[in-house]
Amino acid sequence: MSIAEKIAWDDSLLPFQLDRADIRGRFVRLDGALNQILDQHNYPDPVAQLVAEAVVLTALIGQTIGFKAKLSLQIRGNGPIRLIATDYFAPEDEGEAGQIRAYASFDSEQVRAVDPFSQIGKGMFAVLIDQGKGQAPYQGITPLDAGSLANCAETYFAQSEQLATRFALAIAKGDNWRAAGLVLQHMPKASPLKVVAAPVDTEADAENWNRATIMLESVQQDEMIGPSVSPAELLYRLFHEDSPRVFDPQPVRFGCTCSEDKVRQSMSIYSAKDIAHMTTDAGTLTADCQFCGAHYVMDPMTLGKDA
């Protein structure tokens, strides 16, 4: 396999549809972007595993939100792993990369090398979509009681979007982390995504969906994370009976939107007294980005309402 082929396979998302069924899907592989996210922090493996799963889900869901929008996942619980937060920034224009970032908050003394999902505890799985100025933000919440992050995402789509949805995730750690994900969604009859449409009855719909989900369950981890099998080859192996049609792949990369200007803007609501309480003994005010680790040092005299 050439270097060019590997680059084309990794850190990219491939949308597809099954022409003989009302089913659409996306397939994503992440390596460099994922490791840039994880390298910002020294996460224990169970935390890194969950962050990787959340990043894959965020990419798979985020690809559908349209240009210039932002999709976030917030996974909050009362266990040792308290929070996983992810953001997906949709491309500004067609052909550009989507950007993704993530971080986790956890009790390092309580995290154990056991089932990662169980260490989140009871809580919520939230999907937030920001379409930009002039658009009302959207929020959908489902409880963390489905046994895995993928199952929680399926519950979210069933409850909030009324879409039958199935995810398959694969996470592996060698010298670096690699991750992949595949999602199928059964679309309404009026779906504009369907190009080849033939009238089908409810029984035929159910048969198509059952066949596709059974094949999805047969996928192996080494098939998903590669590099021996390309995404197109995998889709054909799984869904050849339903004539898979692939669209242009979309690159995905790590990206953070933090900046000193944004920190200054967030400080603009505070009074001089509040700013004084935040000032260090060295006479500066500091702020750290939880996503990328950027460290900002500012003169408190230039911050706050009175600056």
State how far the Cα of 41 lies from the Cα of 289, in Å rounded to an integer: 12
Cβ–Cβ < 8 Å for 82, 76: yes
Q: b vs e for 102-111, b when ≥16 Cβ sit within 10 Å of the residue's Cβ? A: bbbebeeeeb
Per residue in 166-187, pLDDT (tens digit) is 999 999 998 899 999 999 999 8
Domain boundaries, the chain: 3-186+200-254, 260-302
Q: What is the pLDDT averaged over residues 230-247?
A: 94
In the block, tokens 């890194």 appear at 48
CB atoms within 10 A of CB 266: 11
Residue 39: CB partners within 8 Å, gap ≥ 6? none
Task: Please name the residues in contact with 180: beta carbons below 8 A apart, sequence gap of 6 or more.
Answer: 27, 28, 29, 30, 56, 169, 170, 224, 225, 226
Name the class of domain 3-186+200-254: alpha beta
Token pair 């894959």 in the structure block, residue: 56
What band does 127 get if pLDDT is binned at 50, 70 and 90? Answer: very high
What is the average pLDDT across 260-282?
85
Q: According to the per-residue pLDDT averaged within each range, which of 64-68, 115-119, 271-275 is highest?
A: 115-119
133 confidence band (pLDDT: 50, 70, 90): confident
Q: Looking at residue 225, what is its pLDDT?
A: 92
In this predicted model, what pLDDT tens digit does every residue of 184-220 receive, in sequence order? 999 876 444 443 333 344 787 889 999 999 999 999 9
Structure tokens at 130: 């920001």
Q: What pTM does this model have?
A: 0.87
Residue 8: pLDDT band (50, 70, 90) is: very low
- Cβ(148)–Cβ(195) below 8 Å: no
Backbone angles phi, psi at 34, to 5 degrees: -65, -45
Structure tokens given for 241: 């009976």
- Asked if residues 116 and 44 have their Cβ atoms less than 8 Å apart, the reply is no
pLDDT for the residue numbered 189:
63
Are 225 and 29 in contact, with CB atoms under 8 Å apart?
A: yes
